[in-house]
Amino acid sequence: MNFELARQNMIEQQIRPWDVLDTRVLDVLGEVHREDFVPPRYRRLAFADTALPLGHDEVMMKPNVEARMLQALAVFPGDSVLEVGTGSGYVTACLAALGGEVTSLEIHEDLLREAERRLGDGVREVELAHQDVFQWSPERRFQAIALTGAVPGDPERFGNWLEVGGRLFAIVGSEPAMEAVLITRVSDDQWTSESLFETVLPYLVGAEKPKPFVL
């Protein structure tokens, strides 16, 4: 399989048509080898327009969702970044390649160790931690926060961890129509929310799931 050709096809046929036009993001997607972060059995599907299983009912997001998230967060060199859900480590690597100083939390230790191996020594400014985010409190605020799992409602807990001017990407709601949103902290006590697109993603482990509607 020609991975370079498949990578360029992913960018041109999946990502650009989804209004990802930030050249910095496109360059990073061309440089970070996604095929090295997917589970070996799915390596030939690394550039497919589908979510890939990671185990523990977790998934690697579709490439276009990852790209929209990276574009929305607008990470620049030196930005402090929190990633909730390391997963495969691919988004971690992309955030670091954009210049972010990344703290990444993962509740599943085996996924964390695999991501650590994939990231290796070539990715700097990344701190990986085996943590349940719902039992964790940061010692500082962040300029960007990426939630790689869904939450059922207003992600107020995470919004409070932003610096003024900081951005939070989250997928909220319940199936079949979850919504990707970008939340920006505009002052100590004010946030704005922008709807980006609809998608579906498994919930973060520990997130309180909506109760099913019963007649």
DSSP H helices, 120-193, are: 156-159
Q: Residue 56: its pLDDT value, please?
A: 96
Please state, in angstroms and as integers, the Cα–Cα distance from residue 135 to each residue in 10, 46, 130, 132, 148, following that order.
37, 33, 11, 5, 17
Q: How many CB atoms lie within 10 A of CB 90?
A: 26
In the block, tokens 């993962």 appear at: 106
Give the closest residue to 109 by CA, choosing from 56, 62, 161.
56
Per-residue pLDDT of the chain (215 residues; tens, 9 = 90+): 899 999 999 999 999 999 999 999 999 999 999 999 999 999 999 999 999 999 999 999 999 999 999 999 999 999 999 999 999 999 999 999 999 999 999 999 999 999 999 998 767 789 999 999 999 999 999 999 999 999 999 999 999 999 999 999 999 999 888 999 999 999 999 999 999 999 999 999 998 776 654 45
The rounded distance, in Å, linking the Cα atoms of 210 and 215 is: 15
Q: Which CATH entry fits the domain spanning 3-199: 3.50.30.30, 3.30.70.260, 3.40.50.150, 3.40.1260.10?
A: 3.40.50.150
pTM: predicted TM-score of the whole model, two decimal places: 0.94
Residues 45-57: tens digit of each pLDDT: 999 999 999 999 9
